[in-house]
């Protein structure tokens, strides 16, 4: 989990320059590729619940993840070479929710 949080922090502060422009201009299924990257970057959050499962309820863990994703985007306001984008926040939250649904369905499949 520490490596995951380090990766999120690094993604927040590392300037992407031309790479970011290329990603922003490319699309997959009609959606900008950077939104897909945000979704995929936050999907693993739900899986880390297994580490903290004895201390917190699942819905609280997902809520914490959504607040984390919002915080990451808001912090970008203060990083000179990064920009805040509401759709990035939507991609982050969607990733957490989809990751949560995948984990729940996987757990239900294992129990059968």
pLDDT at 100 over 80: yes
The residue assigned the tokens 């619940």 is 49
With the C-alpha atoms ordered 61, 64, 45, 24, is the resulting torsion angle positive or negative? positive
pLDDT digits (tens, 9 = 90+) for 57-99: 888 888 888 898 888 888 888 877 777 788 888 988 899 889 8
- Greatest C-alpha distance within the chain: 51
Tell me the whole-structure pTM to 2 decimals.
Answer: 0.75
């Amino acid at each position: 989990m520490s490596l995951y949080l380090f990766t999120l922090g690094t993604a927040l502060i590392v300037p992407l320059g031309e790479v970011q422009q290329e990603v922003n201009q490319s699309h997959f299924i009609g959606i900008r590729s950077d939104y897909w990257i945000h979704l995929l970057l936050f999907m693993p959050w739900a899986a880390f619940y297994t580490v903290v499962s004895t201390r917190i309820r699942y819905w609280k863990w997902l809520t914490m993840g959504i607040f984390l994703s919002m915080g990451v985007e808001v912090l970008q306001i203060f990083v000179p070479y990064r920009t805040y984008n509401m759709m990035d926040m939507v991609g982050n939250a969607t990733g957490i929710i989809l990751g949560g649904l995948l984990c729940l369905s996987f757990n239900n499949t294992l129990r059968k």
